[in-house]
Amino acid sequence: MSKKLEGQVAVVTGASKGIGATVAEHLAAAGAAVVVNYASSKTGAEAVVNRIRQAGGKAVAVQADVSKPEEVRRLFAEMKKAFGKLDILVNNAGVYEFAPLEAIGVEHFHKHFDLNVLGLLLATQEAVKQFGPAGGSIVNISSVAAALTPPNTSVYSGTKAAVNAITRSH
């Protein structure tokens, strides 16, 4: 049986759990070799890699905080070392902590915007450098909170609105 993504390579940021883990596993099931990125959950990332490998797929786990330019460069260097090329980037890494307006401080703001927005931009910039002549695909994970703005989500919702704007502008 032919697999739609056979021979392609994907990087999924924030793939040690939740949506990212599921996306990584689905890409691998479709034939892609997958880089499972994680910031702190090595155990979670290794579990995702093991599930992919047990199902006959190819995957490696790479630790990198995508809000830091030097770590993003290392993430893509490790991808190149493991698989030689890049075809797909899924920008999934993100943080969400809800707080009422009066409790939002500089640290809360930067934690969200540095990862959810800057991390997406840095990973995208590096991915574009890695794509071959045929180009590649970038998938940005947003949230309904960008438009619905539940209570106490002003910063998180703002980051996801920024993700939507970045996605539409390119």
156 among known catalytic residues: yes
Q: Which residue has the tokens 């996801």?
A: 160
Q: Check if the beta carbon of residue 130 is closer than 8 Å to that of residue 137.
A: no
Longest distance between any two alpha carbons in the chain, whole Å: 56
Q: Check if the beta carbon of residue 146 is closer than 8 Å to that of residue 121.
A: no
The candidate with the shortest Cα–Cα distance to 118, out of 144, 95, 87, is 95
What is each CA distance from 170 to 79, 112, 125, 153, in whole angstroms?
24, 22, 12, 26
Tell how strand 33-38 and strand 59-63 pair up: parallel
Q: Check if the beta carbon of residue 35 is closer than 8 Å to that of residue 57.
A: no
Residue tagged active-site, from 120, 126, 156, 163:
156
Residues marked as catalytic? 156
